[in-house]
A and B are shown apart, each in its own frame.
Chain A
Amino acid sequence: MRTPNRHDLLEFLTRHFIWVVLVFTVVVFGLTIKGYLGLANIANILITGSVLGVMVIGQSLCLMARKLDLSAEGTVSLVAVVAAWLMLPYRETDLAQAGGLGVELDPLIVIPLILALGALIGFVNGFMIMKLNMNFFIVTLAMQLVLRGLALAISEGAIMPGTPAAFNWLGGGRIAGIPVSVIATIGLYLVFGFVMSRMQFGRKVYAVGANEDAARASGFSPARTVILVYTASGFLAALAGWMLLGRLETSVPNLGIGLTLNVVAAAVIGGVSLKGGEGSIIGAFAGVLFLAMVNNALNLMNVDPLWVNAVRGLIILVALIIDAQKTRYAGRAGPSAPTTTVVADADQNAAVS
Chain B
Amino acid sequence: MKRAEPNRLVSLMVDNLIWLFVLGAFIAFSLLSDRFLSPYNLGNILLRSAAFGMLVLSQAYTFITGNFDLSVESSLGLTAMFAALMLVTSEAGGLGWQLDPLLVILLMLILGGLIGLFNGVLITKVGVNNLLVTIAMLFVLRGATYGISPGTSISFFPKEFTWLGGGTLARIVTDDGNFVLSVAGIFVILAFLVGHIHTRYTQFGRNMYAVGADADAARAAGINVDRVVIIVYIIAGVCAAFAGLLQAGRLNAATPTMGANLIFAVHGAAIIGGMSIYGGRGNIIGAFGGVLLWSILDTGLNIMGVSPFWIDVSRGLLLLFAVLLDALRVRYQHNVQMRLALADTTVGLGDKEQSGG
Residues of A within 8 A of B (CB): 70, 128, 132-135, 137-139, 141-150, 152-153, 156-157, 254, 257-258, 261-262, 264-265, 268, 274, 304, 306-314, 316-317, 320-321, 323-325, 327-328
Q: Which residues of chain B are within 8 angstroms of A311 by Cβ–Cβ distance?
A: 143
**Which of B143, B324, B330 meets A309, CB within 8 Å?**
B143
Do A313 and B136 touch (CB < 8 A)? yes
Q: Is B240 an interface residue (CB 8 A)?
A: no
Asked, given contacts A274-B132, A310-B144, whether A141 binds B264 with beta carbons under 8 Å apart, the answer is yes
* Chain B residue at minimal CB-CB distance from A262: B139
A307 to B151, alpha carbons, bound, how many Å? Answer: 11
For B327, what are the chain A residues with a Cβ–Cβ distance below 8 Å?
132-135
Write the nearest CB–CB distance from B291 to chain A, whole angstroms: 15
24 A–B pairs (Cβ distance < 8 Å), ordered by A:
A128-B320, A133-B327, A134-B320, A134-B326, A138-B323, A141-B267, A142-B319, A145-B268, A145-B313, A145-B319, A146-B320, A152-B309, A153-B309, A153-B310, A264-B131, A306-B256, A309-B142, A310-B140, A310-B141, A313-B136, A313-B139, A316-B135, A317-B133, A320-B129
User: Given A310-B139, A313-B139, A146 and B312 touching (CB < 8 A)?
Assistant: yes
B315 contacts A by Cβ under 8 Å: yes
Chain A residues near B141 (CB, 8 Å)? 310, 313
Rounded to whole angstroms, the CA-CA distance of A328 and B126 in the bound complex is 10
Partner of A139, one of B122, B136, B314, B323: B323
Q: Give the Cβ gap from B84 to chain A, nearest Cβ, in Å.
A: 15
**Residue B336 interfacial (CB < 8 Å):** no
CB distance from B232 to the nearest CB of A (A): 19
Q: How far is the CA of A236 from the CA of B141 in the complex (A)?
A: 30
Q: Is B137 an interface residue (CB 8 A)?
A: yes
Q: How far is the CA of A324 from the CA of B125 in the complex (A)?
A: 11
- A159 to B: closest C-beta gap in Å: 14
With both chains docked as a complex, state the minimum distance between the C-beta of A141 and any C-beta of chain B, in angstroms: 6
CB closest residue in chain A, given B256: A306
**B261–A265 touching, CB < 8 Å:** no
Q: Which of B151, B310, B316 lies in contact with A143, CB distance below 8 A?
A: B316
Report Cα–Cα, A150/B127, bound state, in Å: 38
Are the C-beta atoms of A312 and B139 separated by less than 8 Å? yes
Interface 0/1 of B319-350, CB less than 8 Å to A: 11001101100110000000000000000000
Please report the C-alpha to C-alpha distance between residue A115 and residue B146 in the assembled complex, in whole angstroms: 35
Q: Smallest Cβ distance from A263 to chain B, in angstroms?
A: 10
Report, nearest first, the 3 A-B pairs whose CB atoms are least far apart. A310-B143, A309-B143, A313-B139
* Contact indicator B127/A327 (Cβ below 8 Å): yes
Min CB–CB distance A130 → chain B (angstroms): 11
Let me know if B307 is at the binding interface, CB within 8 A: yes
Beyond A261-B70, A313-B141: 4 further Cβ-contacts under 8 Å? A134-B326, A156-B309, A304-B147, A316-B136
Given contacts A142-B319, A268-B132, A320-B128, contact A133 B277 (CB under 8 A): no
Closest approach, in angstroms, between the C-beta of A128 and any C-beta of chain B? 7
Does B60 make an interface contact (CB < 8 A)?
no
Which residues of chain A are near B313, meaning CB under 8 Å?
145-146, 149-150, 153
Chain B positions within 8 Å of A264 at CB level: 131-132, 135
Please give, as numbers and ranges, the residues of chain B lying within 8 Å of A138 by CB-CB distance. 271, 277, 319, 323
Please count how many residues in chain B sit with their CB below 8 Å of the partner chain's CB atoms.
Answer: 50
B231 at the interface (CB under 8 A from A): no
Contact B140 A149 (CB under 8 A): no
Chain B residues, CB < 8 A from A306: 143, 146-147, 149, 151, 256
Flag if A265 contacts B132 (CB, 8 Å).
yes
A145 touches B142 (CB 8 A): no
**Residue numbers in A under 8 Å from B143 (CB-CB):** 306-313
A144 touches B316 (CB 8 A): yes
Asked whether any CB of chain A lies closer than 8 Å to the CB of B260, the reply is yes
- C-alpha gap A101/B307 in the complex (Å): 17
Contact, CB under 8 Å: B268 / A142: yes
Inter-subunit contact B127/A328 (CB<8 Å): yes
Interface set of B (CB-CB < 8 Å, partner A): 70, 122, 126-129, 131-133, 135-144, 146-147, 149, 151, 256, 260-261, 264-265, 267-268, 271, 277, 307, 309-317, 319-320, 323-324, 326-327, 330-331
Bound: A308/B142 CA distance, A: 10
What chain A residues lie within 8 Å of B312 (beta carbons)? Answer: 145-146, 148-149, 152
Query: Chain B residues with Cβ under 8 A from A313's Cβ?
Result: 136-143
Selected contact of B147 from candidates A142, A268, A307, CB within 8 Å = A307
The answer to whether A320 and B132 have CB atoms under 8 Å apart is yes
Complex Cα distance A145/B266, Å?
11
Contact (Cβ within 8 A) A135 B122: no
Min distance, Cβ A68 to any Cβ of chain B, angstroms: 8
B319 A141 Cβ-Cβ under 8 A: yes
Chain B residues lying within 8 Å of A321, measured Cβ to Cβ, are 122, 126, 128
The answer on a CB contact under 8 Å between A70 and B264 is yes
In the complex, are the beta carbons of A274 and B129 less than 8 A apart? yes
**CB nearest to B127 among chain A residues:** A324
Partner of B136, one of A133, A146, A317: A317
**Nearest opposing residue in chain A for B135, CB measure:** A261
CB-based contact B146/A257 at 8 Å: no
User: A18 CB to closest chain B CB, in angstroms?
Assistant: 15
| Cα(A70)–Cα(B141), bound, Å | 21
B residues near A310, Cβ cutoff 8 Å: 139-144, 146-147
Q: Which residues of A contact B140 (CB under 8 A)?
A: 309-310, 313-314, 317
> Whole-angstrom distance between the alpha carbons of A265 and B139 in the complex?
11
Q: Most chain-B CB neighbours within 10 Å: which of A145, A147, A325?
A: A145
Complex alpha-carbon distance, A268 and B135, angstroms: 12
* B74 to chain A: closest residue by CB: A313
Q: Which residues of B contact A141 (CB under 8 A)?
A: 264, 267-268, 271, 319
Bound complex: CA A133 to CA B332 (Å): 12
A137 to B131, CA, bound (A): 12
Query: Do residues B261 and A257 form an inter-chain contact, with CB atoms below 8 A?
Result: yes
A78 to B320, CA, bound (A): 18
* Shortest CB distance A257–B (Å): 5
- Nearest B residue to A319 via CB reads B136
Chain B residues with CB under 8 Å of A324's CB are 126-129
Residue of A nearest to B328 (CB): A132
Alpha-carbon gap, A152 to B268, bound state (A) = 18
